[in-house]
Structure 1
Amino acid sequence: MNPFNYEKLEIARLLRQKTQKDVVKDVGISQSTLSKAEHGLLELSDDMMQKLSQYYDMPIEFFSEMYEVPPVGYLYYRRKLTITNKIIDSFIAKVQIFKAIIDSLMQSVELPDYTLDNYRPSEDLSPKEIAHKIRFSLKVFHGPVPNLSTLLENNGIVIVRFDFGTEKIDGVSAITNENRKVMFINSQMPDDRIRFSMAHELGHIIMHIANPPKSSEEAEREADEFATEFLMPELEIRPMLEDLTISTLATLKRRWRVSMHAIVRRAKDLEVISNQQYRNMQIYFSKKGYTKSEPIQLPIEQPTILKETLRLYKDELGYSDQDLMSIMHINKNDFAEWFAPQPKIIRLQPIFNKSI
């Protein structure tokens, strides 16, 4: 009998959005046996493992990887209540598989060292103050943060963009078994929201992975406060928020490389505009369809570490796609979906000079 990592049975099942009852009905295994196997309390025969491998459409080698499956507690993400547990569980399973893939691939790649310090938010050290410390560590002493993908990857954070299967989760930060910091960003997200999401996840990495917060709500509030100050420092942006119009919003969006929504919210939080002005702008955005797609196309900040790692394996080490699938322990369909280049659809809208 081959040794199997039975914890990965649950990962495969959740990835394919199957319940234990689905498996019992389709494969011919009792729910008690499947449940005990997923918890590592019962071994299955080689024949049953082959059946499950075929049913989940995962290579049998996937279930032979003996790495420790990390707990969900290492993951931090913004969750909206309208997302079903099935979608969330499938998404988390995909993230866990990607983390193992990254550890496997990076064995042949020398990554930049991760040198950023961890900080625990407290009464004496706010997320806003932590943001200033991280800007200083990254040598962003004033003004807008430059290409954030490049900046973070040059400081040892692996950034992965893929389709989360839902538009209601923007990003996830995690740590692999080999202690690599990884940031997952949803490719469904509009480009003008990507930088804020990356800054938000950076806040989780800096403040929460080593120091778990009391609640997810607290973690989200702190990460938002960090991201806002990191990208739009109060002392620099406040004077620019006076007398906001749609036209000045366009200028600020180009300068700070964040969405118009984020800028307006910053103005409200800093009490530069009134609650009524904020509501008027939200109504205007809604009427113009800016809630889903804003005008002003920002430069796309594409991460490169994973792409360059795959290129190195193919061009310099002579790996084929089949070789890569073998070391990743995934099938052809998943490989094509997860790692094939995804063209971006650019939607442009006119912007009007109108005061609010």
Structure 2
Amino acid sequence: MTIVNSIRVYREQAGLSQDQLGERLGVTRQTISTWEKGGRTPPVAQLTNIARALDIPIDLLLHTNTSEANTAASTGLMFRADQPSVLKSHLKEHLTQKASDYALIEELAGELPNLPEMRPLSGYNDHIVEEVAKDVRDWLGVGEITPLGDVLAHLEAKGLKVILHSLPNEISGFSAYTETFGASIIINETHPTERIFFTALHELGHLIFHRQEYKEAQPPTRKNDPREKAANHLAGAVLLSRDILSRELYPYRDRWIPEPLLADIKLRYGVSLRTTIYRAAQIGIISKKQCGQQIGVLNKKYGADREEPTLAKPEGLTRLERLIYRLLVNDELTASRAAEVLGTPLPEIRDILAKWMEEDSD
């Protein structure tokens, strides 16, 4: 069933003639007839009015054409990964579906997708990266010494799509975009919180510095690739600005940084112990030699992929969840569609919605 045919079906179910529906919408019977015959497709803004007039959620008009929309998206969504071999066709198809669903929810909720400003960078220039990191912190609405807190919430507040997905442990994440869908950052949900935050900002770095490289086929990243150095540097500099590091670590200049202090910084700024050490070396608080020694001590104590203390996962709803429940409360989305988009069992969606409606009535 196409979008235009569904208008006719739901109009007839509502017991309305073309004249009556046209009167409710402020258009002529001929316009309704044209829509239903496929001569012209109503704009999304008008679809909202049609759904309201027919007393149905708007996604019933849009979901009928989902497969066609996904086909278009699969040919347009441009990915970039440090290890392109992980982007198997089935994974790209699945994540394209997720991005497409997210974009539809945004559209229904009247929200706009977004892309960060491009700052193309060839090679690696630490001075440029530090300056861009300052601009990114300003863009995210934090000052030079304010902890970011929930990095994912900050990025989603700017209209970027953050999608948590289970990936092989060696893959931290990757990103994709189209001009229509905006940016999507896909992150390995099984990783520790501090690594998730770092990966999100690492992929933001690629979207800023290397967006011209996003395409269907790309060569694997070389060892010590300057693009990776730039993205890693940006992630660390956004999490820990030069001013933050100077304030926190200046008393330890050219001295061993105590692990309890590193742990305290981790809990306050959401950054790994290792990132703090790397950043201290980047801005000259400690030497590269000492950086290597301190990292070696941590690796011996915890192993290369672990450290303590453990950061709690971010609490609260994601932006996608907030948009979906807002649409559900306003009868602009079906519970079954919400369950499909969120990957949550339908009974659970209904239970959560009942709580929202109960609180709303109070």
Q: TM-score range by the shorter chain?
A: 0.5 to 0.7
Instruction: Please name the residue that 1:231 is paired with.
Output: 239
Relative to structure 1, is the Cα distance of residues 128 and 251 closer, same or farther in structure 2, using a 3 angstrom cutoff? same
- Answering whether residue 314 of structure 2 is matched by residue 310 of structure 1, we say no
- What secondary structure, in the 3-state scheme, does the structure 2 residue paired with 1:181 have? strand
Distance 1:187 1:311 in 2: 22
Q: Report deviation, 1:125.
A: 7.4
Q: In the alignment, what sits opposite 1:171?
A: 173
Deviations 1:133-186 (A, max 9, x none): 22223332211324322222221112121212x122212222246232222221
1:196 to 198, 219, 223: 198
Structure 2 stretches lacking a partner, 5+ long? 3-63, 350-362
Preserved contact between residue 231 and residue 256 of structure 1 (Cα < 8 Å): yes
Give the number of the structure whose alpha-carbon radius of gyration is greater. 2
Cα 1:61–1:140 change in 2 (3 A) is closer
Is residue 152 from structure 1 mapped to residue 160 from structure 2 by the alignment?
no
Gaps of 5+ in 1: 3-59, 329-333, 342-356
CA shift in 2, pair 1:137/1:184, >3 Å: same
Distance 1:127 1:234 in 2: 12
Which of residues 304, 314, 319 is equivalent to 1:291? 304
Q: How many residues align?
A: 271
Deviations 1:19-39 (A, max 9, x none): xxxxxxxxxxxxxxxxxxxxx
Matches within 5 A, 1:1-356: 64-65=68-69, 67-70=71-74, 74-79=78-83, 85=85, 88-111=88-111, 114=114, 116-121=116-121, 126-143=128-145, 144-164=147-167, 166-176=168-178, 178-210=180-212, 216=221, 217-238=225-246, 240-241=248-249, 242=252, 243=255, 244-289=257-302, 291-301=304-314, 304-317=318-331, 319-324=333-338, 335-336=343-344
Task: Give the counterpart letter for 2:322 in structure 1.
Answer: E
Distance in 2 between the 1:274 and 1:79 partners? Answer: 31
Q: Which residue of 2 aligns with 1:24?
A: none
Q: Which has the higher helix share?
A: 2
* Alpha-carbon offset, residue 108 of structure 1: 0.7
How much is the aligned-residue C-alpha RMSD, in angstroms?
3.7
The worse-fitting range, judged by mean Cα deviation, of 188-197 and 289-298 is 289-298
How much does 1:77 deviate? 2.8
Matches of 2:193 and 2:177, distance apart in 1: 25
For residue 275 of structure 1, report the CA deviation from its aligned partner: 4.6
SS of the residue aligned with 2:295? helix
Task: Give the letter for the 2:236 counterpart.
Answer: T
Given that 1:161 and 1:186 are in contact with CA atoms closer than 8 Å, whether structure 2 keeps it comes out as yes
Q: Secondary structure at the match of 1:126?
A: helix
**Displacement of 1:75 after TM fit?**
1.6
- Counterpart residue identity of residue 119, structure 1: R
- Alpha-carbon deviations, 1:175-223, whole Å to 9, x = none? 2462322222211111121221111122122222257699754432221
Secondary structure, in 3 states, of the residue corresponding to 2:72? coil
Report the residue type matching 2:169 in the other structure: E
CA contact (8 A) 2:134 2:144 kept: no
| Identical positions, percent | 19
Query: 2:70 touches 2:97 (CA, 8 Å); kept in 1?
Result: no
